[in-house]
Amino acid sequence: MAHLLMIESWVGGTGRLFPPAITRLGHRYTFVTRNKAHYLGAADAPIHPVLAQAEHVLSYETNDVPALIEFLRAQHAVLAFDGVVTICDYYVGTVAEVAQALGLPQPFSANTVLERRKDRVREALACAGLPNPRFAAVLGVTAACAAAREIGYPLVLKPTDLASSAFVRLVHDEAELRDACVALEAFTHNFRGQPRSPLLLLEEYLHGDEVSVEACTFAGETTVIGITDKSLTGHPFFVEDGHMFPARLDAATAAAVTEFVCAALRAVGHDHGISHTEVKLTPHGPRVVEINPRPGGNYIVELVERVAGIDLLLAQIELALGRAPDLTPRQTGVASAAVMFAIAPRAGTLLALEGTERATASPGVARAHFDAVTAREVAAPIDNACYLGHVIATDADGGGARACAQAALAQLRFRYRDDVIAGVAA
């Protein structure tokens, strides 16, 4: 039985799946966080699994890496950790530094800092001679406007170092660009209190469907697990509202995407660990949207396991312990699996989310979860933090899982206070 050191976690998605995956294998873990309250919901909500299943919960400033290393060195002398891990993007680099200092294995690439920076990924792809959208990384609104005139509108403005599609926005003209730049520049620290890079990344807008490639690299050899599709909402923002595994691609397209992603991973020096690479299928061929050096979020790992029988969270645990993961596909009796997210269509006071029982009982639904909603203020959807629940559906015979999940969500009704006041039917 191994003892893992986990540094912070996502709250939703894989953040809920990862802790029970560790304990299900008979392993144990110590969880360290700078803010335990971040993982606590309402007073009557069940305790978050990352806290509930930890053998020890340590409170320490995880954003002060040198001090954290010394603190964990002392803890390691007593608790004897076997590996270091996180399931949160913002602490991937921290895990790498802590593991190196303590002489422990960890599940991430030696070049993870580069991979986490969207501007440096673009530069690495360009240096490798791989097709890339026109892009520029600049400081300040004036420089952004000048770069935009070279790239052309519409374009996408991105932070270089955030996750969950936060502050990623499609802009059509200089006025929209200025507004988007001002909003991003005002966000000086990320959602975990870490100072952000002030760089603004501008990219040519890529037309086409989007997919992601799930892969794992061990000892320098990359195994592609499969390709997941993606749907988006929240224009002009890029909110992911659903995924299906496997994506419905013809063999030639799938082969081209796989070959391109493997070349991109080599270009950024991804030599170890799971990767989740987002790709646009443009009329001119596949193009990288971004490379994530960790398992895909939004329950993609569950979709993969339901279809291919490959547990990417188990693989993450094995990598964190310095072991080769088992990536052998297994027959599951499921041909496709999909997740769709419940997203409030607009801002306002949401009195109720109705139809959840009908959604849960819909044909093809394997499981569902919905937040309890009582007079809850919701914002307009601008990133992946807006989810109010999800359904996961499967299809044993073909690629129909997404249609099943969409039909289930169609059972939901969002009842707002102003609708009730105005006498509008839900």
Contacts of residue 105, Cβ cutoff 8 Å, sequence gap at least 6: 82, 83, 84, 99, 319, 320, 321, 322
Q: pLDDT value at position 267?
A: 97
Q: pLDDT value at position 145?
A: 98
Strands 348-354 and 376-378: antiparallel
Q: Is 415 helix (H, G, I), strand (E, B) or coil?
A: strand
Contacts of residue 314, Cβ cutoff 8 Å, sequence gap at least 6: 21, 25, 325, 326
- Torsion sign, CA atoms 152, 128, 251, 299: negative
Q: How far is CA 30 from the centre of its chain?
A: 23
pLDDT grade, residue 103 (50/70/90)? very high
Is-contact 91 7, C-beta < 8 A?
Answer: yes
* 65, burial (CB in 10 Å: exposed 0-12, middle 13-18, buried 19+): middle
Q: Which residues pair with 211 in a beta bridge?
A: 229, 279
DSSP 300-332: HHHHHHHHH---HHHHHHHHHTT----------
Q: Which two tokens stand for residue 273?
A: 């660990």
pLDDT at residue 45 is higher than 80: no
pTM: 0.94
pLDDT at residue 149 is higher than 50: yes
pLDDT grade, residue 426 (50/70/90)? very low
- Torsion sign, CA atoms 340, 341, 342, 345: negative
Q: pLDDT value at position 78?
A: 98
pLDDT at residue 42 is higher than 80: no
pLDDT at residue 47 is higher than 70: yes
Pick the closest to residue 276 from 250, 240, 306, 235 (CA basis).
240
| For range 207-232, the mean pLDDT | 97
Q: pLDDT value at position 423?
A: 52
Q: pLDDT value at position 367?
A: 98
* 34, burial (CB in 10 Å: exposed 0-12, middle 13-18, buried 19+): middle
Q: pLDDT value at position 425?
A: 45
Is-contact 67 43, C-beta < 8 A?
Answer: no
Q: pLDDT value at position 282?
A: 98
Q: pLDDT value at position 44?
A: 59
| For range 170-180, the mean pLDDT | 98
| For range 28-53, the mean pLDDT | 89
pLDDT at residue 125 is higher than 70: yes
pLDDT at residue 148 is higher than 70: yes
pLDDT at residue 264 is higher than 50: yes
pLDDT grade, residue 420 (50/70/90)? low
Higher per-residue confidence, 86 vs 375: 86
Is-contact 393 365, C-beta < 8 A?
Answer: yes
* Tens digits of residue pLDDT in 7-29: 999 998 899 999 999 999 999 99
* Tens digits of residue pLDDT in 318-353: 999 999 999 999 999 999 999 999 999 999 999 999
Q: Which residues pair with 282 in a beta bridge?
A: 285
Q: pLDDT value at position 41?
A: 73
